[in-house]
Each structure stands twice: as C-alpha cells, then as structure tokens.
Structure 1
C-alpha cells in the first residue's frame, strides 16, 4: 500500500501504558484495582506491592504480558473499525452519491464500491485487473473513482489529467491506460496517451489548470482523512474499509455481504 503522508501533528496515544498496567494487574492478581483511576489512588506502599506481584506473575507466566498486549490490540482494532463505520455513514453522500465522480460498471448497480487510488501506485496497478474482473463477473457492481494523488507532483499531474479527461467522457479509458503504464506519467506521456484516445489535448491541458479540479482533489483528501485511510489503494464497500490490494474472491465475498445489507 502506498502511504498518505501524515498530518503535521498527531495526538499521542497516552492511554496505552496505564491500560496495559491495569490489564496486567487484573490478570496477575484479581483482587487488585483494575482501572487506571483506581491504580493512581494507591499509596506508595501499595504500588510497590502491585509492582512486586506483577513482576512475580510475569516471571512465572510471561504469557500474561503477551495476552495483555493482544487484548489491547484487539480492543484498538475494534474501536478503529467502529469509528470507520461511523465515518462512512457520516460521509455516505460524499462517498457514494457525488454526481461529479466518475463511475465504472453499472451506473445503477445495487452495490457500490468506492476506490481511492493514485495513478502511480504500484499496488493500485496490481488491483486494477482484479476490479475489472469483478465488473465482468458481477453486472450489479458500481465503482466510484476517487483520485488520491499522494505520491508527489507526477501523481497530481496524472490526477488532473484524468479529471480533465472526464469532461471529454474519456476518464475510464485514460485511467485504464495509466494503470497499464510502466513509466512515469509525464506531460509528454499524458499527451501521447490522450491523443491515442482521441482527446483534444489543448482543451484537456487547459482544463487541468481549472481550480475546480484542485478543489475536487482536496475533497478526496479530506474524505480519506475522515475515514482514516492511510494509503492507496483503499476500497469502501458498504460500511467496510478495505486497505490495500485484495484478490477477487475477497472482493466477491465483501460485495455479497454488502448486498445482503
């Protein structure tokens, strides 16, 4: 997966250590206070006793620490999954029903899949034929395309060209060409590919500079951040976020689950 550069500031995860200590103390000695607040209320002597009990428990059974970490990680995954589902519901209109977005497959399909992709992303290129196979196998699937150029200026150039090509009804064709491209999407390369598809290059080049295209790209980036998308490709199916490239059976299973509602 190609990664989105992180924002300049991140909120530190300050709760992991006290939660871990509480989980270990609970596992090591069930009679001890289990919550961080209760642990903080202990006297210095009680804290020393807790530490001694924890050390002895870990010495006798090191798996306690492993199990505590596993429990914390599972709780974090569950919380993140629930948060993403809530974000998907909150952003459903912008995700699934923005009339400005290009669509592949059946425009009236009963299942919509949203793809965030970068035209230069190798993982996106690897996923492309799988998505095409999904469309061939399932005529009820609708794919909404969200350009997310995270790999530098060349990616931005390619995304601008794609959104400009949409104005000449050639988005899908140019996107397919760029997914097969092995070199960089330079301006000369984009011009050559555009001409192969019968696009008016002079018009396309002018449209690439339209501020409306920049606003759309910024909106896609906002959506990605709202959904905690960390890179490309990223797929949204129903209320499920699928990071990275996946195989056809996985996609078909997720589509079937979304279809059941």
Structure 2
C-alpha cells in the first residue's frame, strides 16, 4: 500500500505505543465493568478530542445518549475525567489512533488516484525530463521556479541521477508563486517544446537565481542560453500543459512544491537526500521482485 513520509511517521508512532483498540483497551475494561459504560467512555474520549478544538460541543457531548441513566452518565463523566487527568496518555493514544485511521483513508484515496492518473504522470510526451533516456525507474517531480525549497532540493535530485543512471525524472512545472513563476514556466516550457537541447541549462539557471524571478532575471537567463526569441513568445501549447499539471496536482491531493512521486509513494516537501535515496531503492527493489516473480 502506498505510504507518504508522514504516514510512516504515524505508523512508527503506533508501533512504539499501544493504541486504543489493542492492549491499552484493558485500561477501559478495568475502569468500566459494565459494557455500556465502556462504550460510553470510549465515545467520551472521542468527544474529548473534539472538545480540545471545538469547546462549544462540550454541552452536546452526552446529550443524545439515552441508553444510560442520568446517574450513570454522571458516573462516567467523573471516572473519565479522573482517568484523563491521571493518565493523559489515553488522550494521546486516541488521537494517534484517529490520525492513523484518517491517514489510512487518505492513503487509499491517493493509491486510487495514482492508478487513475498514471498516464498523465508518466506518459505525457510534452513533459521535460532529465536522466535516463530508456529508464528502468521513473520519478515525477512537481516544481516551481520561485519556490525556495525546490531550489534547495535540486542538488539532491541531480545526485540521484548520478548515483542511479537508470533513473528518469519527469519535470512537471507549475506556477504557484505569482507572476514571476508564470513567466518562468511559460518561457522554460516553450524552450523545451522548441529547443529541448537547451532546456536543462535554462532550467538550472532559473533555479539557481538567489531571488524571486522577474522579467529582467528571465531575460538575463535567455541571453546567457541563446533563447531570447522565446521570451514573451510563449508557445500556444503551453497554457494547456501548465493547466494540466496544476489540475493533476489537485487530483492527486498534492498541496505544494516540491513534491516527488516514486512508484506508489508520494514524497512531499524538502526532504534529505537519504530519504529520496531510500524511497528510490525501495521502488527499485519492489520492481525487481515483481519482475522475478512474473
């Protein structure tokens, strides 16, 4: 099953902590001998989680539970309050369990979306790329020229290509950082469509700019790369390509750049090289295993 880096952190936390639903459930059994009281207490912890963020629901926490008498409800409130005060881990464990359940649902939705949009990610001929021309493994990379974190992750991606010559990185350029980003993406995508041999130099120079790109900075890059003819002369195909990239991000639930996808794993944000390498090696190993078994 697909996992994001955040999902792995939650899973590790769950492995290191016995969550509600497992061994820790015995705490409730010892506190509440009556089955109704146990279930009411569990729902109480859930409501307590809501109360933390939405205090106004506290008055409704038990209003609709008619299976217990008023005295029983009062007893549960008192016991639950005492339990949370004396064992705050109960709240923490409930939150962890809830987060894990939410993440599992998100992972399932992401997995389905990755399958649905596989062609848009990997088979769009208009996308720039770098690395292996006949790859054994591919990575999709969403990037913005004015994104400071994209600038910082570029050396790691270049290092991946050096260490894994079988890797191809497909570049999905998206203008999320204002007008300067849009001008840069229009220019770079146009260069790719018309003079693809000059694209990587253009991209690297745009990414290496220490400040936000504007018309003057882009014109300077164009002059240094002999691509002046494409400044302000955007290829008519570019608008749809860029819209497709942005829409694809939205369909995949990706909220920003940089974001990388390797096989069925989303790697969001600026992460260390070791994380990228680990995920790539895992994808290669999984692919090798599948090929051997087929």
TM-score, normalised to structure 2, is: 0.73
Matches within 5 A, 1:158-173: 158-167=184-193, 168-169=195-196, 170-173=198-201
CA drift at 1:115:
0.6
Q: Does 1:190 align with 2:196?
A: no
> What SS does the aligned partner of 1:142 have?
strand
* Structure 1, unpaired ranges of 5+: 1-21
Distance 1:157 1:26 in 2: 61
Higher share of residues assigned helix = 2
Are the equivalent residues in 2 in contact too, given 1:25–1:50 (CA < 8 A)? no
Structure showing greater Rg: 2
Residue 154 (structure 1) aligned to one of 177, 180, 186: 180
Residue 123 (structure 1) aligned to one of 149, 152, 159: 149
Deviations along 1:1-28, whole A, 9 cap, x unmatched?
A: xxxxxxxxxxxxxxxxxxxxx9999963
Q: Does 1:206 align with 2:204?
A: no
Are the equivalent residues in 1 in contact too, given 2:219–2:231 (CA < 8 A)? no
TM-score, normalised to structure 1, is: 0.81
Distance 2:257 2:233 in 1: 28
RMSD: 2.7
Q: Per the alignment, do residues 73 and 203 of structure 1 end up closer, same or farther by CA in structure 2, a change over 3 Å counting?
A: closer
Deviations along 1:155-184, whole A, 9 cap, x unmatched?
A: 111111111111221222211111111133
Matches within 5 A, 1:15-30: 28=28, 29=32
Deviations along 1:190-243, whole A, 9 cap, x unmatched?
A: 1221121122x23442225x2x31221111111111121111100000110001
Q: Does 1:106 align with 2:132?
A: yes
Q: Per the alignment, do residues 216 and 44 of structure 1 end up closer, same or farther by CA in structure 2, a change over 3 Å counting?
A: farther
Q: Does 1:73 align with 2:103?
A: no
Q: Does 1:252 align with 2:280?
A: no
Partner of 1:60: 86
Runs of 4+ more than 4 Å apart: 22-27
1 or 2 for the larger relative contact order (CA 8 Å, sep ≥6)? 1
Distance 1:228 1:86 in 2: 12
CA drift at 1:185:
1.8
Matched pairs, number: 237
